[in-house]
Structure formats: C-alpha cells, structure tokens
A and B are shown apart, each in its own frame.
Chain A
C-alpha cells in the first residue's frame, strides 16, 4: 500500500530526512539553477503544499492497481463514518440513548460496527481541518466522509486525498442507483464517490411573515423575490461558494453550467447590490433554518429537506419551500473514502449496503432529501399503506413528493453547479467571497 500516490517518492524522502540533497532542494524549489542557502532551504520548506508537483491526475491503470491493493483484505469489523448532522434515521432507545436503526440492522447483518460521528458542519471548514494530515499522508481517523460536489470535492480529488472505490464491490449501486448519481459530471465512472443523498437549493419562506411584509403579493413565486426591497433586512442568503454564486447566475438569467466569466461578473454585481441595498440580513450556512423559524428572516435560500423536518419537529409554522421557475440547483452529498483510511473494505461494504431499496426507504422516511434509489419509493408507499393516522399521511407525503422521489423530467429541469478548475476557482472566489465575507 503506497503512502503517496501523486508525490514523487524521492521528493518525499527528501522532505522527511534531516539533510537534503541538492537535487531534492532544486526539485522542491522548482528553480532551474540551484541556489543553496537559506532561500532554497526555505523554499523547500514551503508552508505545507505538495511541492511543485502538486496534483496530477492518475491513469486508470494506476487506479486499478491501487484499488487491488487497497481492498485486498478482509473487513476489520468496524469503521468510522464522518457525516453531517440530521442525515440518517434516528430514534431513542429504552435507555434514552440516541440510536440509528439502519446502522444497527447493518451491524446485525454483517457484524461490522459503525462509529457514527456527526462532525461535518461545512465543507470548507472540514476540509481545512483534515487537509494537513491528508497532506502529510496520515489517516484522518475516518473511513467514510461525506462531501458535497463543488469546490471542495474537486480539491479532495485533485490533491489526491481520496482513495478510489472498488467497482467490483458495489452490485447494489450498479443495479439501483438513480441516473443522476450514476456517473455524474463531477465524478465520471464513480471513481471516488457514491452519492449519499441529493438535494435542491431553492427558496424557503414563512407565509405569515411574507404576508405581513408584502400584503399585495403574499406568495413567493420567483428567485427575484429574494431581491425584493419589500423584504429589506429580512432575507437570508447562503454564505459559501456554491449555492450563493450559482443562484446569482440563475437570477441574472444565465445557466450556471455554461456561464462565462462575464456572466460571473454580472451575477456578482447583482448580489453585491442586494447586499448594499440592505436587503440581506445575514449570510447563513446550516443555521438559516433557525433564523427562519424564529422570525429573524422571512425569505431565504434553503435546502429542500430542512423545511420538511422543521415542520415535523413541533414548531410548525407551515414553512414553505419553492423550486423557482428561473431554475433551482441540484447538489449531491457524496460518500468518499479518504486516503489511508484504516477500514476501506468495511466502508465499501456499507456504502453498497445503503443502496438496497429497503435500507434507503428507512433512511428516506427520516431524511427527506432526494433519494438516490428510486425503487425505494414503492417501499415507502407500502409502509404508508400499513401505517395509520398522522404517520400514514406523512409517509404518503414523502412517497409522493417530487423533492424526495423526483422523476427524470424533474431532475432535468434542475441545474448543476458550475464546474471550476483551480484557477477559475480563485477568480470565482475573489468575485464572490468579498460579498458574503465582507
């Protein structure tokens, strides 16, 4: 099992040994003619990036060779699952402990224990936390992490921080995966990722507040409502580099996937004006739902599953979710295996297990995001039929919701994030970050 797949081994040796040969220094410094002394030494001791080599794509033969090595052994009997909060079925057992039935059933069936940690709050900050260890070739203590497609998934892949998955170990995935998660544009052939759930970024709103603030038109029907001065100081936007700028592009009437740099500038101007006009109260991450619930904001960008769950959890104000006619964004949270994970075989076993329709149904009845296994819909309907009262209504809602089991036509109408190269990412960030981080 090699420790480093993108970095020249001799370079790595050079960095780890106390003395450095001139050749190693030159290589690291990327200088043509070598300069010994403090400067070259410091150049070689750069802040922690991957030297000059940086990232390089692997050939498919290299990948298959790695796969054979990584998944050669037997399952170890446990693995560590790093996940976002509120993303799996959950209940309390007799002792008042929080448990996850789908995980318990998995453990019973396969004997593999799951250490489930809801430690991911945000793609950016999680990447920042684990990056140094991954850079140094160390295990980060997780066997599965969940990363949204976008800037950071691209970084993980480009920098070689993920192990490829074993295509031979996922029969359920091959049989049951929805078309939009099988070989997606951000990971053709599912070399590194298998979707956990997908979701839609649309608009969430509180009917009571909206009616109060804009009695003439008390319904939210368009992306442009986010820019309406009637809601001045009561609008929430996402403060990150995917949903926020891409929605700006949609508001400017441009399709994100094919947008140009000029389009980005147009979108940035629109969003900057929204901020300077005082329309935005705050830029949120996951916490927009609290702000919407307690009335800090009336309209905001929102994720499809959250509104469902908030309305369920007792504080029901009838929050609404809109898929805007200008277009909404579809994103996917993906399971990946970080480099040097301790239990890759166990992880692979679980990742494929989750693609059985009955398991997905279990998760979906709690999570309400876009299910990656369409055939789970029938199971949820069957559960609705055998249930009664409120549960039956709820399960019916879930089974029939285009936000949980969309048709292909529904999905085709949704837009994906603009895929960016590293350089484009810098331009993009420089345009949009100052707006939400000003």
Chain B
C-alpha cells in the first residue's frame, strides 16, 4: 500500500483482497427474509384468529334457531336486543373489571417498582416468584379460593368462632369475591408490563433528579410516573380487557346477581343461540377496541401498539 491515503473499497476490491462488497443492496433473499419469517405466523393468526372474528360478525347477523335453521338476514335485532336485554350484565362487567383492574394496578405497581429499582442481581428471581403460582391451572386456583373463602372454612370459620364476624357473613356469592378473584387471577398481566416499563427507565434520570434537589416523592411524580405511563397503559389494557370477558370467576365465586356478560355468552352458546351469542361477543370486542384507541389518544402515547406489544 502507498504510504499516504487510505485505500478505497474500489481499490481494495481491485487489489484482490477478499472483502465482502457491501456497496450493493442486500441480496433478494435477505430482503425477503422478514416476510418469509413472518408469513407462517401471519397465516396462522389470520386463518385461526382474524377470519373467525369476521365470520362471527357475519353469524351475528343471522336469524333463526337450530331447529328452523340459521339464515343470514342482516338481523341487526340481535344487537339491539342483546344490548337492551343484557345491559345490566355489560355494565356489571365494566364495574367488576374496572375495580379489578384498578386494584391490580395498585397492588402491582409498588412490586414492579421495587423489583425494577431495588431488585439488583436477584431481579429475575423476584419476578419469577410472582409468576410462580401461575404454573398451577387457573381453574384449580379459583376453586381453591372457593375453598379458602368458604362460609365456615379456614378463614371465615376461624373469624366467626372468635366472634369477629357475624355468623351470617359470607364472601362467596357476592360481587367482592368476584372482583377479588379477577384481581388475583390477572395480576401477572398487570405486573409484567409495569415491570418492563419501569426497568427501562435509566437510573441516571433519577440521579439527575436528585442533582436538581428533587426529593424522592417529586422524583417519582415528575420522572418515574410519567416515564412509566406506557407501561401503565399496557398493563391496563392487558388486564381490563380479559377481565371484561371473564366468566369463570363470576361462575365459581359469585352469586346469582353477579353474572357478567361472559356468563351470558356461555349460556347462549349452550342454548345454541349462535347469532345472539356472536352479537354479544362482537360488541365486547368492538367496544374494547374503541376504548383502547380512545385511551391511547388521550394519553398521547403514540406508538401505543408498539408499547403494548413490547409489554
């Protein structure tokens, strides 16, 4: 090589030193790679997730019964009837899911905060311990709560025999049991996105806050909380939405006046009232989608689906 200038790639290539020529655009196979990689998943999700939802919308406009046969007939009555007759159950689901999500957020946030900032080397262990119970079937867990909260069981029975509670007191078959069950069963969906968002916050930002003479509370309110908002939003969505559609907690822990819209959808399924079932189900889906988009706009979180997806 000459003593002076740095050789250009052209010169090197001409000189014969084997260096991959990166000037050209990546090969076709490389450009096609992401499409190829993503295709099987998109096909599966399309065929087994998206299309069924579209088909369900079609079925929701059917009329008829099993005996007389189902016919597509633009039967919007399924929607108007469903919303009028089962308005209570929809509102109840909103209430239970709302309270349950709020409770889950309140419980999960301090934990996520502590693990993210003070977990140190054992972060993953602490996180794992929260997820541990969810290795057991959710049905079994809920049934065990049925047992724990039984009228004269280990908790209430003891309290009653100590005369701390009236004999007729019961938690099961009330809305509190349902909300408690919802909160319990969906906690990891809340804790994980919160943890991920909090963990991403650069510790240097906290130090910067301290340098500017902010105390812990101010640092939290002005630095940590705003930065964690995408995580809060993701946690809210991932908790509230499944809770709205739940029916197991209401079925196992609730009473006759605690039925949520999920229970009604199951009943319609068992009655083989498919069009009505589909209408109720689609309302749930559509309502939640709209709520998610509105909430995202309000919070101003742009790449909301990115954030939620990351969570």
A residues at B contact (CB < 8 Å): 29-30, 39, 42-43, 45-55, 124-125, 127-128, 131, 135, 155, 158-159, 233, 239, 275, 280-283, 294-296, 422, 426, 429, 433-434, 436-438
Q: Is B219 an interface residue (CB 8 A)?
A: no
Contact A49 B66 (CB under 8 A): yes
Asked if A47 and B67 make an inter-chain contact with CB atoms under 8 angstroms apart, the answer reads: no
Which B191-240 residues have C-beta < 8 A from chain A?
none
Q: Are B256 and A438 in contact (CB under 8 A)?
A: yes
Where chain B touches its partner, the secondary structure class is loop
Q: Chain A nearest CB: distance from B265 CB in Å?
A: 11
Cα-based distance from A200 to B178 in the complex (angstroms): 33
Known A282-B255, A296-B170, A438-B257; judge A48-B274 contact (CB<8 A).
yes
Q: In the assembly, what is the distance between CA of A128 and CA of B256, in Å?
A: 22
Report if B301 contacts A (CB, 8 A).
no
Most chain-A Cβ atoms within 10 A of its Cβ — which of B59, B68, B85, B173?
B68
**Could you say which of A45, A127, A281, A437 contacts B259, with CB atoms under 8 Å apart?**
A437
Q: What is the CA–CA distance of A414 and B189 in the complex, to the nearest angstrom?
A: 53
In contact, B270 and A295 (Cβ under 8 angstroms): no
**Contact A52 B267, beta carbon cutoff 8 Å:** no
The answer to whether A131 and B272 touch across the interface, beta carbons within 8 angstroms, is yes
The answer, yes or no, to whether B264 is at the interface (CB within 8 Å) is yes
> Is the beta-carbon distance between A46 and B256 smaller than 8 angstroms?
no
Given contacts A30-B71, A49-B70, A131-B272, contact A294 B65 (CB under 8 A): no
15 A–B contact pairs at CB < 8 A?
A30-B71, A39-B72, A42-B58, A43-B72, A46-B69, A46-B70, A50-B66, A51-B69, A55-B67, A128-B272, A131-B66, A155-B66, A283-B256, A434-B85, A438-B88
Number of A-B contacts (CB under 8 A): 101
Q: How far is the CA of A155 from the CA of B271 in the complex (A)?
A: 10
* CB <8 Å contact, B65 and A49: yes
Chain B interface size band reads 35 or more
Check A52 against B69 for contact (C-beta < 8 Å). yes
| Top-8 shortest CB links A-B | A46-B70, A42-B72, A49-B69, A49-B70, A47-B70, A128-B270, A47-B274, A47-B59
B259 touches A54 (CB 8 A): no
Chain B 51-91 per-residue mask, 1 if CB under 8 angstroms from chain A, else 0 = 00000001100101111111111000000000001001100
The complex places the Cα of A127 from the Cα of B270 at a distance, in Å, of: 7
Chain A residues whose CB sits within 8 angstroms of the CB of B246 once the complex forms: none
Is the C-beta of B8 less than 8 angstroms from some C-beta in chain A? no
Q: By the criterion CB–CB under 8 Å, are A437 and B272 in contact? A: no
**What are the residues of chain A within 8 A of B67 when measuring CB–CB?**
49-50, 54-55, 155, 158-159, 422
Smallest CB-CB separation from A40: which chain B residue?
A: B72
Q: With a CB–CB cut-off of 8 A, which chain A residues contact B117?
A: none
A46 to B67, CA, bound (A): 13
Beyond A46-B70, A47-B70, A281-B255, is A426–B65 a contact (Cβ under 8 Å)? Answer: yes
Cβ contact within 8 Å between A46 and B267: no
Q: How far is the CB of A374 from chain B (nearest CB, A)?
A: 36
**A320–B264 alpha-carbon span in the complex (Å):** 34
In the assembly, what is the distance between CA of A128 and CA of B270, in Å? 5
Contacts of A39 on B, CB cut-off 8 Å?
A: 72
For B66, the chain A residues whose CB sits under 8 A away are 49-50, 54, 131, 135, 155, 159
